[in-house]
Amino acid sequence: MPTTRRTRALAADPPAVWRTVADPNHQPRWWPLVSRMEDVQPDAFTQLLKTSKGRSIRADFVVLQREEPTVFRFEQQLAGSPFERILHHNELTVELQEEQDGTVVVLTRETKLRGMSALGGFMWRRAAAKQLDEALDALQEIHG
């Protein structure tokens, strides 16, 4: 299962960063390709993603773990989605660690590719790393 992890130190207190990362309503501000959120519930939410060609794609998620103020973990619901053809499993964990000068954010994406897509694991990891870096860039922009 390809696992991609990126870490960044932010000059912000953990509660401020937690309010951003643990509230799905804030994902359009920091998560790449998310144009808006729909049906946000305490245990589930839907991202509306905008492709490079301008199309919109829905991605449904369930919250697996929410331990304030350190861990927020959610998994994509793939059955019946356009992602089902290439993904068997897709999960993201956001971990916050208090540091003397702020907060260390650790983003971890665990993915299991389906069928022939599994042969492109190295390309998937590269794309996932780029996405996690863009998310951390956006969080740094928000929180300094």
> How confident is the model over 23-41, as pLDDT tens digits?
999 999 999 999 999 999 9
Question: In 10 A of CB 44, how many CB atoms?
Answer: 14
Q: For residue 2, which of 73, 140, 78, 108 has the smallest C-alpha distance?
A: 108
Q: Which residue has 């793939």 as its token pair?
A: 78
Contacts of 80 (CB under 8 A, 6+ apart): none
For 90-135, what is each residue's pLDDT tens digit? 999 999 999 999 999 999 999 998 875 555 556 767 889 999 999 9
pLDDT of residue 126: 86
DSSP state of 119: G
Q: How many helices (H) and strands (E) does the chain have?
A: 3, 7
How open is the CA angle 137-129-102, to the nearest 5 degrees?
40
Please give the structure tokens belonging to residue 108: 């971890």
Q: What is the CATH number of the domain that holds 120?
A: 3.30.530.20
pLDDT of 44 reads 98
Specify the number of domains making up the chain.
1
Q: What is the mean pLDDT of residues 70-94?
A: 94
Q: Give the range of the structural domain holding residue 50, as residue numbers without chain letter.
A: 3-143
